[in-house]
Amino acid sequence: MQTLEVVGMSTKTILLIDNELYVREIVELCLTDLAGWNVVVADSLLEGIQKAKIEHPDAIVMDLSMHCMNCFQCINEFRDKPENQKIPIVLMSAAVRWLEPEFLRQHKIAGVIFKPFNPLQIPVQLAKILGWDYVPSCYL
């Protein structure tokens, strides 16, 4: 894959974990076509953890509804390894509204993108949560 450099910006790699094929495809298209980011996809948490070991993503975007509370146990185990501690995790979910902000901080969740979402806003929301500069690819 080609690396994109714009005024010192390099392409980010996002690991997208979601078991719904259509959601994965829409989010992947928006992150690659609108933001110019590389996207690695996984349809299960186990596959995602394996890909994270290989790809070393800049961030993980993960659907919560497919994992429920086991998700947080897996996140904690994933974070036990020093090389994974700094990878921010962003949840996508309609179900996460019931979680307290303190619970999310305790599990080092960088933020939440609530479903239903506007696909065109995903790169903007993700960049804002992660503190990344975002320049739509149409301006590059």
Least confident of 2-6, 47-51, 78-82: 2-6
For residue 61, the model assigns a pLDDT of 95
Q: How much of the chain exceeds pLDDT 90, in percent?
A: 41
Q: List pLDDT tens digits, range 101-134.
A: 888 888 888 998 988 889 999 999 999 999 998 7
Q: How much of the chain exceeds pLDDT 70, in percent?
A: 82
Strand stretches in the chain, DSSP E: 5-6, 9-10, 13-17, 38-42, 59-63, 89-93, 109-114
Identify the band that residue 85 occupies on the pLDDT scale cut at 50, 70 and 90: confident
Lookup: tokens for 68: 């429920």
For residue 84, the model assigns a pLDDT of 84
Say whether pLDDT at 8 is over 90: no
For residue 24, the model assigns a pLDDT of 93
The answer to whether 15 and 52 are in contact (CB under 8 A) is: yes
Q: Which architecture characterizes domain 5-132 according to CATH?
A: 3-Layer(aba) Sandwich (3.40)
What is the pairing mode between strands 13-17 and 38-42?
parallel
Q: Which residues pair with 61 in a beta bridge?
A: 16, 90
